[in-house]
């Protein structure tokens, strides 16, 4: 299972929000590119970036910081926040970003999502951010009447490469992932699901590992990495490639020899 460090950008800084509240942000670094390099140096094979200003503005805002991160590391990057038209999507792909995460337009402009999935196959991920099971849009400032599972099924049919599912009530709270919601989502679709929100410990990561056979292939970790509640290297050893339980036993060795 992929362990994907999150880098949330607000006014050019690396921050974390509490339950998506812009007024409850904490700055962890003024140089997001350095943060990206740190996570890659510690073993990250993929990064998750959110342009928080972009999510509110409806367009890419932190372009300079995104470009700096893309130039600083060589691992694939996924990015969301404010990608609501073709121009914005093309803009981030031009920087070398691997995946564009679409949220608001998945609800408001599904036809555009279908066109983008056709134009950029396997590069469009749908970010489903849910509040009490209903999809939130526009930087989590509005809540729709669309059920998360219904949207996921629709987006799979339109050609989405994967779904990132975030439980807003758990995001930035370190209260653990919403396993029940993830299990329900996994039962409804067959494309990969990336879990996000609430991960606070290696124990939480191991609980998600049980959902891997159902299609939960990755987990985004944010605040817990920045507070030190989770060490990336330990997380990778627990659930990443070559995790301890995947190492075959040495059958030639015997403690009685």
pLDDT digits (tens, 9 = 90+) for 203-215: 999 999 999 999 9
Note the pLDDT of residue 228. Answer: 94
Note the pLDDT of residue 246. Answer: 52
pTM score of the predicted model: 0.88
| Cβ contact 233:44 at 8 Å | no
pLDDT digits (tens, 9 = 90+) for 73-88: 999 999 999 999 999 9
Token pair 């060589």: residue: 74
Q: pLDDT band at residue 27, thresholds of 50, 70 and 90?
A: confident
> Does pLDDT of 90 surpass 70?
yes
SS3 label, residue 41: helix
**Which class for 68: exposed (0-12), middle (13-18), buried (19 or more C-beta within 10 A)?**
middle
Q: Which residues contact 115 (CB under 8 A, 6 or more apart)?
A: 86
Look over the chain and give the mean of its residue pLDDT values, rounded to a whole number.
Answer: 89
Residue positions annotated with a catalytic role: 8, 129
| Cβ contact 43:231 at 8 Å | no
Domains within the chain, CATH numbers bracketed: 2-240 (3.20.20.70)
* Cα(76)–Cα(37) distance, integer angstroms: 13
């Amino acid at each position: 299972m992929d362990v994907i460090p999150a880098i949330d950008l607000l006014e050019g800084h690396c921050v974390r929000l509490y339950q998506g509240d812009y007024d409850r942000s904490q700055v962890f670094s003024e140089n997001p590119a350095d943060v990206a390099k740190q996570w890659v140096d510690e073993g990250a094979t993929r990064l998750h970036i959110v342009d928080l200003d972009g999510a509110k503005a409806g367009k890419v805002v932190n372009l300079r910081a995104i470009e700096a991160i893309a130039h600083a590391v060589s691992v694939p990057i996924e990015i969301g926040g404010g990608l609501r038209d073709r121009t914005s999507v093309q803009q981030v792909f031009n920087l070398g970003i691997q995946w564009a995460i679409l949220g608001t337009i998945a609800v408001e402009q599904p036809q555009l999502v279908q066109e983008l999935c056709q134009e950029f196959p396997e590069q469009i991920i749908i970010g489903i951010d849910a509040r009490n099971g209903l999809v939130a849009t526009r930087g989590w400032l509005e809540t729709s009447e669309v059920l998360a599972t219904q949207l996921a099924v629709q987006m799979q049919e339109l050609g989405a490469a994967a779904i990132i599912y975030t439980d807003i009530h758990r995001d930035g709270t370190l209260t653990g992932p919403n396993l029940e919601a993830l299990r329900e989502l996994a039962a409804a679709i067959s494309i990969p699901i990336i879990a996000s929100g609430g991960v606070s410990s290696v124990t939480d990561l191991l609980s998600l590992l049980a959902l891997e056979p159902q299609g939960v292939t990755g987990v985004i970790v944010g605040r817990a990495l920045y507070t030190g509640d989770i060490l990336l290297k330990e997380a990778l050893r627990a659930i990443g490639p070559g995790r301890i339980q995947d190492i075959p036993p040495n059958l030639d060795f015997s403690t009685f020899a």
